[in-house]
Structure 1
Amino acid sequence: MIKGTTASGTYYLFNKKDQEVPIVFVHGVGLTHEIWQPQLEFFNYHSNIAYDILGHGRSPLEEGEISFDDFSKQLIELLDHLKIKKIHLVGFSIGSLIARNFAIKHNERLQTLTLLCSIYKRTEEQQKIVNQRFEQAKQDLKLSKQALKRWFTDKYLENNPEIYEKITSILSANNMNNFLKVYELFVNHKNDEDFNKIKANTLVVTGEYDIGSTVKMSQELNALISKSQLKIIKDGKHLCGIECADDVNLTIKNFIGSDE
């Protein structure tokens, strides 16, 4: 496993194997590349990359205002730094919005696209709730541990206290100024992408009980993206990539394997 930093400061892990097309994992807001540990271990036989998005973990955020284009630029710079032409792109939560932006702008760099727990057209009530969470975060200048109740089932947290500690530790380490800039993008996302420009074979996945990135949202994305397929992770919530890792990993493996 190669650990490195690009010229602009993006921190990454690169597991280089024989495959020319690596899997690239993009994490969610407030988190870091560390959430992909179950995937990096499972796909150890395959070339893969996990990195910290702008303003998270060890990757800096210097811009006053940012957009999803900045995150796509970050990923392009990383791929060029590693001399990689094509990727299997897997984005989780805000990482899936970054992946959608990337797919629309840089289709030629994609072999496949996987959108894990992606939002689409929140209802008025859903938008109201995320607005309230954003305002609370601005007021408190810290991240609520209540998020873990939305991200994992109670039973999983009870049985895996080390995961609770690990995720809360990542959340607590956030630079709140950077977090709020990125979180605001997520909260105010307008769903105004031109999905017709997504040409890569696409997998849309969410947890059965994910209340933020709902089954309905994934069904709608599946209907909008022409070359897409849908998978609902049984008993999964938002961080099903950890709680339901076996199911998520096999789903991604089968999808990518059918395109290699």
Structure 2
Amino acid sequence: MHGPDDAPVVVLLHPLVTHSALWLPQLPAWTTRFQVVCVDLPGHGHSPVLPDVTTLSQYAAEVRHVLDALGVDRAALVGLSLGGMVAQAFALAWPERTQALVLAHTSARTESTIRDLWSSRLQQAADEGMAAQVPAILGRWFPPDFAASAPMTLQWVAEQIASTPFDGYAAAIGAIQRLDHLDQLHGITAPTLVVAGERDAAASPALARLMSDRLPHATLTMLPGAGHIGNVQLPLAFTETVGAFLVQSLDSPASP
């Protein structure tokens, strides 16, 4: 954990085919106010592939194991894309341990047409390797004008994608294909911030609104011009918007 010993705990959950280093733009600011826990989900970063972890609930259980090992009873969870799906699963399974929730660039249900797209992407990765996935993933994640202006940043993200083990990618895709939390969101009572990107081609603003409408205590915020990885494309806006929500939610005695 990074940050003051007596500060509230915030857990950061990264997208597919990245790892906890993707949160580096946020750490200097957030660790002044919170104890930050950066988790590498199974099959990503330094976490090994776990063959028995195939559902979002099981990914969430791995996050719970991390908190148990750290002696953390309650925390706020900030999840982006896949991380947001895992954060939903955690909040549904352990509401008493969920102090606040940030669901960024994510969704709550995978429709059949999107499941088929994921199957095609997985087959391509099996045939051609993870490096072949990089151009298409970056194209979905970042608007062309940002990509053209930030080649070194995209290379940093590309290296995370290419270094993800295929088995970790496959397991996470399987979990994403089975995502179906939408009709359960009314059961999440923690204060929640839903973050959408105006130009997000992977998790549209419409999906963010759908989630926000189902969550009892949700606020929806839109990042102007942002694609799918808003914390990298618009680091200052993301850091301050999410940080302000966390301060308000975690400092308030009325937090559930």
TM-score, normalized by length of structure 2? 0.90
Decide which moves more: 198-207 or 123-132: 123-132
Q: 1:205 corresponds to which residue?
A: 195
Cα pair 1:236 1:243 within 8 Å, conserved? yes
Match of 2:50, SS state, is coil
Q: 2:23 corresponds to which residue?
A: 36
Name the amino acid aligned to 1:252.
Answer: V
Q: Check if 1:231 corresponds to 2:218.
A: no
Name the amino acid aligned to 2:23.
Answer: W
Cα pair 2:192 2:219 within 8 Å, conserved? yes
Cα pair 1:213 1:238 within 8 Å, conserved? yes
Decide which moves more: 86-95 or 122-131: 122-131
Cα pair 2:85 2:106 within 8 Å, conserved? yes
Which segments of 5 or more consecutive residues in structure 1 lack a partner in the other structure?
Answer: 1-13
Q: 1:25 corresponds to which residue?
A: 12
The 1:21/1:252 distance shift into structure 2, 3 A limit, reads: same
Report the Cα distance in structure 2 between the residues aligned to 1:174 and 1:148, rounded to whole angstroms. 14
Q: 1:113 corresponds to which residue?
A: 101
How far 1:113 sits from its partner (Å)?
0.3
How far 1:153 sits from its partner (Å)?
2.1
Q: Check if 1:98 corresponds to 2:98.
A: no
Match of 1:38, SS state, is coil
Q: 2:63 corresponds to which residue?
A: 75
How far 1:177 sits from its partner (Å)?
1.6
Decide which moves more: 208-217 or 43-52: 43-52
Alignment of 1:1-260 (within 5 A): 14-46=1-33, 47-64=35-52, 66-122=54-110, 125-143=113-131, 144-145=133-134, 146-191=136-181, 194-259=184-249, 260=251
Cα pair 1:207 1:233 within 8 Å, conserved? yes
Q: Could you list the structure 1 runs, at least 4 aligned residues long, displaced by more than 6 angstroms after superposition.
A: none
Q: 1:6 corresponds to which residue?
A: none
Report the Cα distance in structure 1 between the residues aligned to 2:167 and 2:113, rounded to whole angstroms. 27
Cα pair 1:134 1:184 within 8 Å, conserved? no
Report the Cα distance in structure 2 between the residues aligned to 1:199 and 1:226, rounded to whole angstroms. 6
Match of 2:180, SS state, is coil
Cα pair 2:193 2:220 within 8 Å, conserved? yes
Decide which moves more: 45-54 or 185-194: 185-194
Decide which moves more: 148-157 or 100-109: 148-157
RMSD of aligned residue pairs (Cα, Å): 1.8
**May I ask how many residue pairs the two structures share in their alignment?**
247
How far 1:62 sits from its partner (Å)?
2.8
Match of 1:258, SS state, is helix
How far 1:126 sits from its partner (Å)?
4.3
Report the Cα distance in structure 2 between the residues aligned to 1:232 and 1:208, rounded to whole angstroms. 6
Name the amino acid aligned to 2:153.
Answer: I
Name the amino acid aligned to 1:184.
Answer: G
Report the Cα distance in structure 2 between the residues aligned to 1:106 and 1:152, rounded to whole angstroms. 33
TM-score, normalized by length of structure 1? 0.88
Between the two proteins, what is the percent identity of the paired residues? 20
